[in-house]
Amino acid sequence: MSDKPLRLEGIEWRQPSAFTRSYELVSGDDVLATLVFPKVFGSLADARWGSEAWTFKRQGFLHPRVTVRRPDSDVDIAMYEPNWTGRKAILRGPGSRLTMFVAASLFGSEHLWKTPEDVALVSLVSRGITHAGASVEVTAAGARDDQIKLLILLGWYVIRLAHEDAAASSAAVIATG
């Protein structure tokens, strides 16, 4: 993985194998970051971009949220809190900074991280069925944001959990039908 300066074009998430819960953020042939769920089931994930690392874990049932921590720490450095529809969420980050994650398309294939002033920072557009992936577009404002790496990783984490939840719900409906 690389600590190279962030490129603004040609960034995408890919899933090297459809049989693992492991994802790579790539730019050309360079692997910039990884998101790995160490267990077949569960919401704990390890996120790494160069020398920076975080863990993400969903907590709660009626009021779910995602904690962001440094590896081997029990201290939350940020908290992702979706609204009841799941189409909008707030990330309460370091220094009480707020960032919003919104579904930008009707069917949920595009998501945006935005500032409270409605300035777009990064867009993630999901694609793929057997191999999950997404194109990532960082805006000029996003490229200047010191939390952009965390936003790209956490955004993909949330999207993957939503896809897994939808697949599990569909399987349950089919099984009971």
| Predicted confidence band of residue 5 (pLDDT cuts 50, 70, 90) | low
How many helices (H) and strands (E) the chain has is answered by 2, 12
Q: How far apart are CA 173 and CA 177, in angstroms?
A: 6
Q: Given a cut of 80, is residue 108 above it in pLDDT? A: no
pLDDT on residue 59? 93
Q: What digits encode the pLDDT tens for the residues 39-90?
A: 988 999 999 999 999 999 999 887 889 999 999 999 999 999 988 666 678 8
Beta-strand relationship, 133-138 and 120-127: antiparallel
CATH class of 11-166: mainly beta
Q: How far apart are CA 87 and CA 57, in angstroms?
A: 19
From 71-80, 141-150, 165-174, the region with the lowest mean pLDDT? 165-174
Q: What angle do CA 121, 124, 125 make, to 5 degrees?
A: 140
Q: Residue ranges per domain, the chain?
A: 11-166
